[in-house]
């Protein structure tokens, strides 16, 4: 028997006083339940939102590990080469692939030619580790060391060169004219790109 029926003997006034109080309690319980449901929904929504936010954040954070460069890396792994692309995230045109050097990305010889100069927006170092395993990218031709940026093999790749500057402070995007394999010790502190 519901508790409000255990009012036998009490006055009508008391009874009517108890019932609204009881209803009120039930109502509060329902409200509390509804509130809990609502809270749960909000938590669920918050979790979903957080998930989306985390995903959204994860992309830029691992943008250095962009999907294009990541996919390209996985297709060959460490194969002894340096690569450069006209677009960001190892996209656009693959300008060149080589285990060697090229003193002029704008001439008609070697792995990089013609319009390859001043065009690269992403680069990859999948060279073998040890010795001259760092790729120095130069602002000028002929490995002019007044302006360069060094990419370590452990960095794997730079998916957007616009984040980096040569040692002369020029932005590296669409500005590389030559490259050479060098030792890490040949690169100045602060010249490493990522």
Q: In the complex, which residues of this chain contact Ca ion (CB under 5 A)?
A: 86, 102, 104, 107, 110, 112, 121, 174
Whole-angstrom distance, CA of residue 68 vs CA of residue 137 = 21
Q: How far is the CB of 69 from Ca ion (least distance, A)?
A: 14
Q: How far is the CB of 74 from Ca ion (least distance, A)?
A: 23
Q: How far is the CB of 86 from Ca ion (least distance, A)?
A: 5
Complex with Ca ion: residue 70 or 86, whichever CB lies closer: 86
Complex with Ca ion: residue 64 or 86, whichever CB lies closer: 86
Residue 153, classed as helix, strand or coil, is helix
Q: How far is the CB of 167 from Ca ion (least distance, A)?
A: 20
Complex with Ca ion: residue 116 or 133, whichever CB lies closer: 116
Complex with Ca ion: residue 33 or 174, whichever CB lies closer: 174
Complex with Ca ion: residue 72 or 104, whichever CB lies closer: 104
Residue 75, classed as helix, strand or coil, is helix
Q: Are 101 and 181 in contact (CB under 8 A)?
A: yes
The residue assigned the tokens 């190892």 is 90
Whole-angstrom distance, CA of residue 33 vs CA of residue 37 = 6
The CB density around residue 6, as the number of other CB atoms within 10 Å, is 10
Residue 7, classed as helix, strand or coil, is coil
Q: How far is the CB of 50 from Ca ion (least distance, A)?
A: 35
Whole-angstrom distance, CA of residue 115 vs CA of residue 148 = 19
């Amino acid at each position: 028997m519901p508790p409000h029926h255990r009012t036998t003997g009490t006055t009508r006034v008391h009874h009517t006083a108890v019932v609204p109080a009881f209803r009120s309690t039930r109502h509060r319980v329902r409200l509390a339940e509804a509130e809990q449901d609502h809270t749960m929904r909000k938590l669920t929504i918050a979790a979903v939102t957080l998930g989306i936010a985390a995903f959204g954040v994860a992309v830029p954070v691992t943008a250095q590990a962009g999907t294009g460069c990541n996919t390209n890396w996985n297709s060959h792994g460490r194969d002894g080469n340096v690569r450069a692309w006209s677009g960001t995230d190892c996209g656009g045109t693959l300008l060149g692939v080589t285990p060697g050097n090229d003193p002029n990305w704008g001439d008609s010889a070697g792995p990089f030619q013609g319009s390859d100069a001043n065009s690269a927006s992403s680069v990859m170092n999948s060279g073998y580790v040890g010795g001259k395993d760092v790729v120095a990218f130069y602002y000028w031709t002929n490995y002019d060391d007044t302006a360069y940026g060094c990419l370590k093999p452990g960095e794997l790749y730079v998916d957007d060169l616009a984040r980096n500057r040569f040692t002369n402070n020029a932005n590296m995007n669409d500005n590389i004219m030559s490259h050479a394999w060098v030792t890490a010790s040949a690169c100045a502190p602060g010249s490493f790109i990522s």
